[in-house]
Amino acid sequence: MTLLKIARMGHPVLLKTAEVIADPTSRDVGRLLENMVETMEDATGIGLAAPQVYEGKRVIIFKSPRERGEEEAADSDFSPLTALINPEFDPLDDELAVGWEGCLSIPGMTGAVPRYSRIVYRGYAPNGEAVEREATNFHARVVQHEIDHLDGVLFPMRMTDLSMLTFNEELKNFMEYAMEQDAGADDHADADEE
Ligand code: NI
146 is catalytic: yes
- The model's pLDDT over 73-85, given as tens digits with 9 standing for 90+, comes to 899 999 999 999 9
Side by side, the strands of the sheet bearing 165-167 are: 96-101, 109-116, 165-167
Residue 124's beta-bridge partner residues? Answer: 85, 130
Furthest CA-CA distance within the chain: 54
- The model's pLDDT over 5-21, given as tens digits with 9 standing for 90+, comes to 999 999 999 999 999 99
- Give the integer Cα–Cα distance in Å for 86 and 1: 23
- The model's pLDDT over 105-155, given as tens digits with 9 standing for 90+, comes to 999 999 999 999 999 999 999 999 999 999 999 999 999 999 999 999 999
CA of 49 to the centre of ligand 1 (A): 7
Asked whether the beta carbons of 97 and 117 are under 8 A apart, the reply is: yes
CA of 94 to the centre of ligand 1 (A): 23
Q: Is 40 helix (H, G, I), strand (E, B) or coil?
A: helix
Phi, psi of 6 (to 5 degrees): -100, 125
Which of 132, 134, 146, 176 is flagged as catalytic?
A: 146
CA of 130 to the centre of ligand 1 (A): 24
Does residue 67 carry a pLDDT above 60? yes
Nearest residue to 113 via CA among 136, 94, 97, 90: 97
- Give the integer Cα–Cα distance in Å for 165 and 109: 7
Question: Of 11-20, 46-55, 58-67, 175-184, which gets the smallest average pLDDT?
Answer: 175-184
Residue partners of 185: CB distance under 8 A and separation at least 6: 178, 179
Per-residue pLDDT at 185: 53
CA of 9 to the centre of ligand 1 (A): 10
- Strand-pair category, 79-91 with 118-124: antiparallel
Per-residue pLDDT at 184: 56
Letter string b/e over residues 125-144, b meaning 16 or more CB atoms within 10 A of that residue's CB: ebeeeeeebebbbbbbbbbb
Q: pTM, whole model, 2 decimals? A: 0.91
Domain boundaries, the chain: 12-160, 168-194
Q: Say yes or no: domain 12-160 is CATH 3.90.45.10.
A: yes
CA of 180 to the centre of ligand 1 (A): 30
Confidence of residue 192 (pLDDT cuts 50, 70, 90): very low
